[in-house]
Amino acid sequence: MVIDIRDITPGNYYNCKFKTEEMLDVRGRPINLSDTPLRGIGMYESTGRITGRDTSTEMVEVVDFKSNKEYVVSFADIWDVKLSSKDEDVDNELIGNK
């Protein structure tokens, strides 16, 4: 079941899909400590765990499952908000799913 970000309950775990502008490598991944050449700034889409929400600024903090980086994105740049469990998040982080 997809949930509106404004309706989430504090204390529960939620996952979402998100997009943000980010410096990417030639494979379209956020930059890290590897020696992969840079492609430049581009749109990055992924799935992660919501770790914070500010309804006054309409921004959310999301920890990306693929890169483990934290992003702050607007409500408009997230979708498919779903209730999850802590164990489900850890399992998907380890295998890179979602």
What tens-digit pLDDT sequence spans the chain (98 residues)? 789 999 999 999 999 999 999 999 998 889 887 788 989 999 999 999 999 999 999 999 999 999 999 999 999 999 999 999 876 655 454 434 43
Q: Helix, strand, or coil here: 76?
A: helix
What was the pLDDT predicted at 33?
75
Helices and strands, counts by H and E, the chain: 1, 5
Query: Can you give the pTM of this predicted structure?
Result: 0.82
What pLDDT is attached to residue 63?
Answer: 97
Question: What does the domain layout of the chain look like in residue ranges?
Answer: 5-95
Question: 3-class DSSP state for residue 32?
Answer: coil
Q: Which fold has domain 5-95?
A: SH3 type barrels. (2.30.30)
